Structure 1
Amino acid sequence: MVSTRAVPNLAFRRLRGQRSAGEFAAAVRRSAREIGEQVACDARYIGRVESGEIRCPNYAYERVFLHMFPGATLADLGFSPRETVRGRAARPGAAAPPPPTSPLLVPGGDTDEESDVLRRVFMTSGTTAVAATSLGLGIGGTSAVSLPAQRRVGEAEVSAVEKAVRQIRLLDDRHGGDGLYRRASRPLRAAYALLDSGTAARRSTTDRLHSGAGELAISVGWLAHDSGRFEDARSHYAEALATARVAGDAALEAHAFCNASFLARDTGRARESVRAAEAGQRAAKPLGSSRLLALLALREAGGRAGLGDRTGCERALGRAHTAFGRGPSGADPEWMTFFREAELEMLEAQCWSALGDWSRAARHARRATRLQDPHFTRNLALYRAELTTDLARAGLVEEAAETGHQVLDLLDQVHSSRIRTMLADAVTVLTPRAGGTPEVRSFLDRHAPFSLSGV
């Protein structure tokens, strides 16, 4: 039996010299910026390379390392050939994946590196046999999807992946991400086990499997995002983007960039949010979906608002309204069922909120709550939480308290850290104004137990 024990990379360790792992990681990040790459290199990553855990860098890191050490090859840096690390021979004449269309892959993280980490997890979790018992959520009475324990991937396996995506989206619309994320990770691992280990008789089946696995990664990433697990969300969005690049799937790429932009905005990386939204628009342009372009323009507007760029934000909002006004079409992705006029109003409200125009934000948030389909329970709570905060900051404290009560009415059904955080922000604004306003005191008193329990 061949040993799989990691062999330390002494050549790479010598290149570090007297610098600490953290100092060397900083040098890697600087070199990446010089060539338009963005890698999340830290001391831990350097340690993994030197220990031999990372036997070959991903393509982004490869470009950075070869830039740092001109004339060197990967072998000179102590790395193994990529085809031996991936576990299968390279196809004759196969080219390396193209460089990213934007230096930004996923805000604050490095797409390829995080994808490789996840890939190893999926592969070691088993192959198609694992998928046979794992592609199901087992949430709220939902039964697992049974798959044949075989290596050939066909209609049954691909349909199971697509069904898992729909199940997650449906449950998220009703309940939010907090209670779903961990359980949803299991079908995701199973989907990638199929992708890594299975073979399909038809190219169309392979394409559908790539698309389904990528959409599943985005859905699970959104659950992580909604439940405040931002690093997990970043990794899942990165995996989806890598899958899109491998498969040449522009629709999946646009979706991954859309969510990456949203995550960047929520984590205070406004400039990266703009860049991701712009990359998403480039990917989406040939697809023929005006609604997708509208949503991506709104993502850009949110990022520009975060930068304090009012003019740029207004221009992006104008493009969003124009594209939205063209109406739905057959080219609209299935995942965009949530994107209706209510969501358009909500995202615009968040732009004005970020720009400090609270009254204007409240007007749009009111429209969002009035237009929202009550079946989207999570979004109904989200819109009302946004409205509560905007009203509070606009000085309309009694209306804010009334709306806050409506959010609390939904918290037994909706479990979303994102919504709870928004409501807590409104409470912070309202607390100093509680003295002479019975309505506000009533809301704050009712919210207090939620606050003690972590809401």
Structure 2
Amino acid sequence: MASSTVPPSRPDRPQRPNLAFRRLRGQRSPAEFAALVRRAAREIDERVSCDARYIGRVEAGEIRCPNYAYERVFLHMFPGRTLTDLGFAPRSSVRGRGARMEEEAPLAYPGRPTRSSADAPGAGETRRTYEPYDTQDPYDTHHDHEESDVLRRAFMTGGGATVAAASLGPLGFALEAPAPERPVRRASSSHAGALEEAVRRIRLLDDRHGADGLYRRAATPLRAAYALLDAGATRQATVDRLHSGAGELAISVGWLAHDSGRFDDARSHYAEALATARMTGDHALEAHAFCNTAFLARDAGRPREAVRAAQAAQRVARPLGSPRLMSLLALREAGGWAGLADRTGCEQALARAQALFARGDTDADPEWMSFYGEAELEGLEAQCWSTLGDWPRAARHARRAADLQDPHFTRNIALYTAELADDLARGGRPDEAAAAGLRVLNLLSQVQSSRIQTMLAGTARVLLPHRRASGVSDFLEKHASTPRGVTPA
């Protein structure tokens, strides 16, 4: 907790739209411009997960000064310009005394501020404020300095709502659980922002590392989210954001349970999100909850339920105006039809998914769909053909999925390659299957996913009779000696 010597935070200032940044985007959609930002980041070996919502927050003036990673990317994209030229406020005016001291220090590392007397709890960025977490979140890509002030103040004040917001923490994981014995205060838009940020960070860490190491740590921020709902808010807009954020967080935690093999937990979390969506009339959240429910039903061996949930999601999502969302939901339906061995139904759903995907991105695409690109389309189609027993076709799509995947989605690369290994093994190509399986094993130091480990175990069983084939014995030996990840409870 911060000491009483911490200087007070700057008073809240009204937001001003960043018109300069909006002009730089030109005729591109926020999603298209976000893709350019991510591409520019890769050019300089930087890591950001920019999406349409982040661009919207910048243009709305919510982010008055970007973090250091985004600063390097923006200056790379627009050489010769300063942050001020891009419409941002000077860092010193946003962050106060601590920032000015850093900018005046000639030896300060430009990529990450060094420790100084200004880095005491409550001064400067949240990442330095919570020092024990400093090395555990190298992917802090959506963090802006005004939100740091919000979360820091949450730790410095009492009350159920503020402590709940603090429980969302810089990693999206709890540092302190909500305290019911403290007087409950009304939640604010800052608390809603902290909740939305927690959802982004959980998704980002899952993309890179898989679910097994994250699931149990994500339970406390979910409780904190519902504590914020119980606290209530004075403005209806804030109440709506809190409900939406809590529902999205429930889905994210449900996915962590799903991917780590805890299907009953996942079903409960998805049902909670669905109830929240229906209670508030949030059709986007309802579509997302049905989407994940369909995916879970397929994996849990309930294909008819998968079809029904996917069709329900499509009915809810149709007025939202996102072809990409409708494409993903058609793929969820195709997976259900494949589980029912209905090849015709599967092929029809796949054709709809491809046609809808070809319409491209729109501003109506939900933020959570940032993972859904051509690689995911290929990967989900591969799973359908695999379920139908068409191994050569499944392997072809799985190989394309792995080749197309953005390198920062480490978990998905491992997933698609594991799918490829299994399809090759079952299709009578043991040497290629073993090579693919070895590539997955090499990624398991970075990824913890029970689903991927289960797939590899199945591949190993199929390859056992072929242990004399080239490379197969190497795969089997390495697989047998690789420690298993977190075991589902």
The TM-score, its normalising length taken from structure 2, stands at: 0.64
Q: Which amino acid aligns with 2:194?
A: A
Question: Residue 304 of structure 2: which of 271, 290, 296 is its match?
Answer: 271
Cα distance, 1:205 vs. partner?
1.1
Does residue 282 of structure 1 match 2:315? yes
Correspondence for 2:199 among 165, 169, 172:
165
CA distance in 1, matches of 2:473, 2:456: 15
- Letter paired with 1:254: A
Task: Spell out the pairing of 1:242-257 with structure 2 (5 A cutoff).
Answer: 242-257=275-290
1:179 pairs with 213, 232, 235, which one? 213
Match of 2:211, SS? Answer: coil
1:326 to 359, 363, 379: 359
| 1:277 and 1:296 in contact (8 A); partners too | yes
What SS is found at the alignment partner of 2:482?
A: helix
Task: Select the residue among 414, 422, 434 that pairs with 1:401.
Answer: 434
Residue pair 2:163, 2:177 contacting (<8 A) in 1 also: no
- Corresponding residue of 1:352: 385
The secondary structure found in structure 2 opposite 1:332 is: coil
Q: 1:133 Cα deviation (Å)?
A: 3.9
Q: Distance in 2 between matches of 1:192 and 1:144?
A: 15
1:375 to 374, 383, 408: 408
Q: Does 1:449 align with 2:484?
A: no
For the 8 Å contact 1:137–1:144, the answer to whether it is kept is no
* Matching residue's letter, 2:205: L
1:191 aligns with 2:225: yes
- Measured after TM superposition, the shift of residue 206 of structure 1 is 1.0
Matched, 1:153 2:187: yes
Q: Structure 1's 139 and 281: CA in aligned 2 closer, same or farther, altered over 3 A?
A: closer
In the TM superposition, what is the alpha-carbon distance from 1:433 to its structure 2 partner?
1.2
User: Would the alpha carbon gap of residues 452 and 291 (structure 1) be closer, same or farther in structure 2, given more than 3 Å must change?
Assistant: closer
Distance 1:431 1:220 in 2: 36
Corresponding residue number in structure 2 for 1:292: 325
The CA distance in 2 between the partners of 1:202 and 1:452, in whole Å, is 48
How many residues align? The count is 327
Residue identity opposite 2:358 in structure 1 = G
Written as runs of structure 1 = structure 2, the 5 A alignment for 1:64-83 is: none
Tell me which stretches of 4 or more aligned residues in structure 1 moved more than 3 Å.
137-140, 142-150, 451-455
Q: Which residue of 2 aligns with 1:415?
A: 448
Structure 1 CA distance, aligned partners of 2:177 and 2:352?
42
Q: Deviations over 1:290-342 (max 9, x none)?
A: 00000000000000000000000000001000100100100000000000000
Q: Matched residues in 1 for 2:170 and 2:485: separation?
A: 27
Call closer, same or farther: CA 1:144–1:414 in 2, change over 3 Å.
farther
Please list the CA deviations of residues 227-253 of structure 1 after superposition, one character each: whole Å capped at 9, or x if unmatched: 111111000000000000011000000
- 1:336 counterpart letter in structure 2: M
| Of 244, 262, 265, the match for 1:211 | 244
- Are 2:177 and 2:224, in contact at CA under 8 Å, matched by a contact in 1? no
Q: Alignment partner of 1:152: what SS?
A: coil
Q: Report SS of the residue matched to 1:308.
A: coil
Gap runs ≥5 in structure 1: 1-125
What's the CA shift for 1:127?
4.2
Q: Which deviations, in whole Å up to 9, do the C-alpha atoms of 1:411-438 show, x marking residues without a partner?
A: 0110000110011111111111113x13
Deviation at 1:396, TM superposition (A): 1.1
Q: 1:202 is aligned with what amino acid?
A: R
1:96-143: per-residue Cα shift (whole Å, max 9, x none)?
xxxxxxxxxxxxxxxxxxxxxxxxxxxxxx942651442226589x97
Q: Secondary structure at the match of 2:268?
A: helix
- The 8 Å contact of residues 145 and 160 in structure 1, kept in 2 or not, is answered as no
The residue number in structure 2 matching 1:425 is: 458
**Kept after mapping to 2: 8 A contact 1:176/1:415:** yes
1:135/1:145 contact within 8 Å kept:
no
Compared CA separation, residues 214 and 360, structure 1 to 2 (3 A): same
Equivalent residue for 2:24? none
CA distance in 1, matches of 2:246, 2:485: 35
Q: Compared with structure 1, are the counterparts of its residues 240 and 422 closer, same or farther at alpha carbon in structure 2 (3 Å cutoff)?
A: same
Amino acid across the alignment from 2:197: K
